[in-house]
Chain A
Amino acid sequence: MSASFEIQLIAVVVAVTCAIPGVFLVLQRMSMMSDAISHAILPGIVVAFLLTGDLGSPWMILGAAMAGVLTVALVELLRKTGLLKEDAAIGIVFPALFSVGVVLIAQYAGDVHLDIDAVLLGELAFAPFDRMTINGVDFGPRALFVMSAIFCVDVAFIVLFFKELKLTSFDKALAGALGFAPAFLHYVLMGLVSITAVGAFDAVGSILVVALMVAPPATAYLLTDSLKPMIFISVGIGALSAISGYWMAHFLDASIAGSMATMTGVIFLTAVVFAPHRGLWSVRKRRSSQQIVFGRKMLVIHLYNHEGLPEANQECRVDHLEDHLRWDHLFATRAIKSSLQLSLIKQHGALLSLTETGREVARKSLVEL
């Protein structure tokens, strides 16, 4: 495998793994929690590193998961005092934990790989150099193995608890009443977010973790109306951001993680504009096509009302419509063109008249009104 391929593979696995728990964070309106956790796991990582002297050991993942769950518990505790809202509680807890991590690094781990830049942005480009070797045999980049294992854990959790997660995400009270322990599921989910964050963090840094957890599910949310497709679309968008981000970085000679984050944003914005039902574009198109339908109706009714009357020569002129119906020129042109296309009306010079179909539509519309 070439280094370039390995980097892309790692990027895809990281992105896909982040998207899975991200779906439930977005649905439970806890996107900010990913931000908090991905920063707050730092002290967990540092403490585990200081105790074991090994980066990327399972202890580090465990330490991070514990720090993540601690974050959630502290936020919960602060919120329960009723003195501040959840977002404020998050805003207090995670900088506190993050700064503890930063101080610990500066004090005790200054000369190892754990430096602040790597923490924020990661360095995917170096990931292929850290190999997984057993008895001298090279199995591939270590990050790929770690992340794939986390991916399997995430998938197993979602598959096993799909029904329960759906219920607690939608209606926590009913989940509780039916005995589904929503608090327990919440902490397990947060534990997963933490494990995923620490795995991803090593490769891509904490900022990208947030982008990868939140942006693909938020994009998928615009594209579908049901949960399962939302998960698959999120995963697909994660993978797409990873690969396109890699090539963007390649051509611009930029940071891979940064480019991936940019791509998640670009894809999200594209969805905001072009999503089939919820996108700005289709909302606009729908509105304008509804307006044209309405315009056609007004037009045929107007022609119908004046049909065969002495003033018809006046009333049924193209230019008169603009005054009488208070239409701007562009809209009048479009309504007339569309009515002509559907052969609701005929045009002789500047004069319009109804066809038999047009008369029928006018009668029907009058009844509807």
Chain B
Amino acid sequence: MDYAIDIRDMTVAYREKPVLWDVDLQVPPGVLLAIVGPNGAGKTTLIKASLGLVKAAAGSVLIHGRPYAEQRSTVAYVPQRGSVDWDFPTNVLDVVTMGLYGQLGWFKRPGKAERVAALKSLAQVGMEEFAARQISQLSGGQQQRVFLARALVQDARVYFMDEPFQGVDATTERAIVDLLQGLRKQGKTVAVVHHDLQTVPEYFDHVMLLNVRRIASGPVEEEFTEENLRTTYGGRVAFVSALSAAKK
């Protein structure tokens, strides 16, 4: 089977203690996947290692059957919002255009076609009137949508998103979910780090439970079980059972 994302035996250690241990993940194409786990579980690290941003001690990653280095142009990445400096002297349109730098390659400058594409994806996230806005003058939710637009403009086959719902209000969250489900309907694969367990069954069709090791991964209805959650979140049993009560 041709997986969109195929991670095998991924092990990462920043120091002596591994933060990811022998993690496997196979995601079929056209799937909206939630990556779930407590703080420090290694979710961000898993994405970074998949994109070659962090060196893995062991393991391999294939995107649609080929190594990431050969597939860069078909993969889009939305980092955690806090990972960049929002006081940087640039505007919204410019940030979205950065999504196209990969396709432009070295030296070539973005031109009119790139600006048009960037404006179009800004419109998709409902931010077109902010195109000329200095990025320091955006709210958290607006920043998040700019990042999303930057990923959309890449028109990738596989998307990795690190907490795209962080700090957005309910309406925006709904709008983003609709966008993600739209991507899935076009046959794209979207892997999303997600913290709100309550909304996992509603938003996603696949889930990966991660806490240094992979606890489970697969369709939500099979793998998003109380037992798996308990294993993932360890001691915080009360919280988990309150959640599963809420689920019923």
Contacts and interface: CB of A to CB of B under 8 A. Distances in A.
Interface of A: 27, 29, 82, 160-164, 166-167, 169-171, 173-174, 176-180, 221, 224-227, 230
A226 B89 CA distance: 4
Given A178-B101, A178-B102, A224 B53 contact: no
Interface in B216-247: none
Interface of B: 14-15, 48, 51-53, 69, 72, 75, 77, 79, 83-85, 88-91, 94-95, 98, 101-102, 104, 106-110, 134, 150
Contacts of B98: 166-167, 170-171, 174
Contacts of B79: 171, 173-174
B90 A170 contact: yes
Contacts of A163: 101, 104, 107-110
B15 A82 contact: yes
Given A170-B88, A178-B102, A82 B14 contact: yes
A177 B53 contact: yes
28 contacts: A27-B85, A27-B88, A82-B14, A160-B107, A161-B107, A163-B110, A164-B101, A166-B98, A170-B84, A170-B85, A170-B88, A170-B90, A171-B84, A171-B98, A173-B77, A173-B83, A174-B77, A177-B51, A177-B52, A177-B72, A178-B72, A179-B69, A179-B72, A179-B102, A180-B102, A225-B90, A225-B91, A230-B89
Given A177-B52, A226-B91, A227-B90, 11 more contacts: A27-B85, A29-B85, A164-B101, A170-B95, A171-B83, A174-B79, A174-B98, A174-B150, A179-B102, A180-B102, A225-B91
B48 A173 contact: yes
A177 B77 contact: yes
Given A164-B106, A171-B79, A173-B53, A180 B91 contact: no
A98 B108 CA distance: 40
B89 to A, nearest CB: 5
A100 B89 CA distance: 39
Nearest to B72: A179
Given A174-B98, A180-B101, A224 B83 contact: no
A248 B239 CA distance: 69
Nearest to B86: A170
Given A173-B48, A176-B51, A27 B104 contact: no
Nearest to A229: B89
A43 B181 CA distance: 59
Nearest to A162: B109
Contacts of B14: 82
B75 A177 contact: yes
A230 B69 CA distance: 34
Which 3 A/B pairs are nearest by Cβ-Cβ distance?
A178-B102, A225-B134, A177-B77
A53 B14 CA distance: 46
A301 to B, nearest CB: 30
A330 B75 CA distance: 62
B6 to A, nearest CB: 18
Contacts of B107: 160-161, 163
Contacts of A174: 77, 79, 98, 150
Contacts of B51: 176-177
A38 to B, nearest CB: 24
A167 B107 CA distance: 12
A315 to B, nearest CB: 40
A261 B113 CA distance: 45
A248 B163 CA distance: 55
Nearest to A80: B14
Contacts of B106: 164, 180
B239 to A, nearest CB: 31
A89 B110 CA distance: 38
A99 B244 CA distance: 64
A214 to B, nearest CB: 16
Nearest to B87: A221
Contact of B89 (A82, A173, A178, A221): A221
Contacts of A171: 79, 83-84, 98
A169 B88 contact: yes
Nearest to A29: B85
A128 B5 CA distance: 64
B153 to A, nearest CB: 12
Contacts of B75: 177
A162 B109 CA distance: 9
A277 B98 CA distance: 27
A227 B106 CA distance: 19
Contacts of B150: 174
B13 to A, nearest CB: 12
A230 B90 CA distance: 10
Looking at B91, B101, B110, B134, the one whose CB has the most chain A CB atoms below 10 A away is B101
Contacts of B109: 162-163
Interface centre among B53, B69, B108 (most CB of A within 10 A): B53
Contacts of A224: 89
A169 B85 CA distance: 9
Interface centre among A29, A169, A177, A180 (most CB of B within 10 A): A177
